[in-house]
């Protein structure tokens, strides 16, 4: 099952890169958990649950906040039901006009052929600089 999990995660990055958000959302289980990096711009102090919350609170905001936002995957690590991605974020934050090249790690958990959980770890200091402020998440406010 490990190769199938790796293929699923690869297909999600490919779909995201094409802007095919419906395909990304379709890969998620109904109770999917999206856990953003602490102190990131999309951290609200608790996970987003389900594809619709991810769409409303992450993907639509990414589109509104960034020009040419992309996830650049350098390496995928196959650990069975868990797939780890090492890479970078790129894009220009619309409000400041600043570009990011933030380091990122994503951890995906796959259950029964669907994405069941996502955890994000990223350079929040870099993102804060690009946003033009020391970002304070909802969790730490």
In a domain, 139, yes or no: no
- Give the total number of structural domains in the chain: 1
Instruction: Give pLDDT tens digits for 24-35.
Output: 999 999 999 999
64 vs 86: CA distance, rounded Å: 25
CATH number at residue 119: 3.10.450.50
Q: Which residues of 20-52 are buried (b: 16+ CB within 10 A; e: fewer)?
A: ebeebbebbbeebbbebbebbbbbeeebbebbe
Sign of CA dihedral 70, 35, 39, 136: positive
Residue 118: give the domain boundaries: 2-133
Q: What is the pTM of this model?
A: 0.90
Look at residue 2 in the predicted model and tell me its pLDDT.
85
């Amino acid at each position: 099952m490990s190769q199938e999990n790796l293929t699923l995660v690869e297909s999600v990055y490919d779909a995201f890169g094409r802007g095919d958000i419906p395909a990304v959302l379709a890969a998620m289980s109904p109770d999917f958990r999206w856990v953003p990096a602490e102190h990131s711009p999309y951290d609200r102090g608790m996970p987003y649950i389900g594809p619709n919350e991810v769409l409303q609170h992450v993907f639509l905001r990414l589109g509104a906040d960034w020009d040419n936002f992309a996830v650049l995957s350098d390496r995928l690590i196959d650990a069975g039901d868990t797939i780890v991605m090492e890479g970078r974020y790129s894009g220009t934050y619309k409000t400041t006009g600043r570009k990011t090249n933030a380091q990122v790690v994503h951890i995906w958990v796959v259950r029964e052929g669907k994405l069941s959980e996502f955890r994000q770890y990223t350079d929040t200091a870099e993102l804060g600089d690009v946003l033009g402020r020391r970002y304070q998440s909802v969790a730490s406010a």
